[in-house]
Amino acid sequence: DIQMTQSPSSLSASVGDRVTITCRASQSISRYLNWYQQKPGKAPKLLIYAASSLQSGVPSRFSGSGSGTDFTLTINSLQPEDFATYYCQQSYSTLFAFGPGTKVDFK
Amino acid sequence: EVQLVESGGGLVQPGRSLRLSCAASGFTFDDYAMHWVRQPPGKGLEWVSGISWNSGNRGYADSVKGRFTISRDNAKNSLYLQMNSLRPEDTALYYCAKDKRGGNIGSPTFDYWGQGTLVTVSS
């Protein structure tokens, strides 16, 4: 089974900061990697699919990169509505595991 | 507008059964694979099960294989999850999710989610 890890598990940031979250797969998953944002009490929201494709309606300050085992989600100029938990998810092989999440909170 | 509305959750004793439903609208239901994803209180996300557009292909997480059965009724635009032999570790918010990529479950990307239905397994 492919295991997903994320770092950091949490971070504190300010409005306007550039934030980078890393996701690592235990084996190569090519570019089969998605990113989701979840706010408290809400369902997850798809941000990035296929490692770097921006989902329709998602602000361009969100971007994704990477392939193989190492991936990055970057938020340029963090906005108040971006404080949330972010999950990566591999869609390469069955079990389609999610990472444990990275919580972004206010510094 | 795509809408997914789950129902059927509740409090159930260990070993008992529960059937979840998800009513879909706003898209051509039988064009897409559908999935269940769960989230224990205060914890992360876990893919539970997926079903292809024509029910020809189904997949399950190891943690539920043999106990849960996913099904769909395209005439009713509905997705189901039959959960048998429930365990306390099945306690979670269960989300219904639409697959962005199309009718097969092979590489799921979840572009729309319901609000979830809470299942609590406890004596």
C-alpha–C-alpha distance, residues B36 and B96, integer Å? 5
Question: Which of A91, A93, A103 to probe the B interface (max B CBs under 10 A)?
Answer: A91
Question: Which of B35, B104, B110 to probe the A interface (max A CBs under 10 A)?
Answer: B110
Write B51-55 long-range contacts (CB < 8 A, 24+).
Answer: B51/B79, B51/B105, B52/B103, B52/B104, B52/B105, B53/B102, B53/B103, B53/B104, B54/B30, B54/B103
- Summarised one tens digit per residue, pLDDT across range B76-111 is 999 999 999 999 999 999 999 999 998 899 899 999
Chain A residues bordering chain B (beta-carbon distance below 8 Å): 1, 32, 34, 36, 38, 43-46, 49-50, 55, 87, 89, 91-92, 94-101
Please list the pLDDT of chain A residue by residue as tens digits (107 residues). Answer: 999 999 999 999 999 999 999 999 999 999 999 999 999 999 999 999 999 999 999 999 999 999 999 999 999 999 999 999 999 999 998 889 999 999 999 98
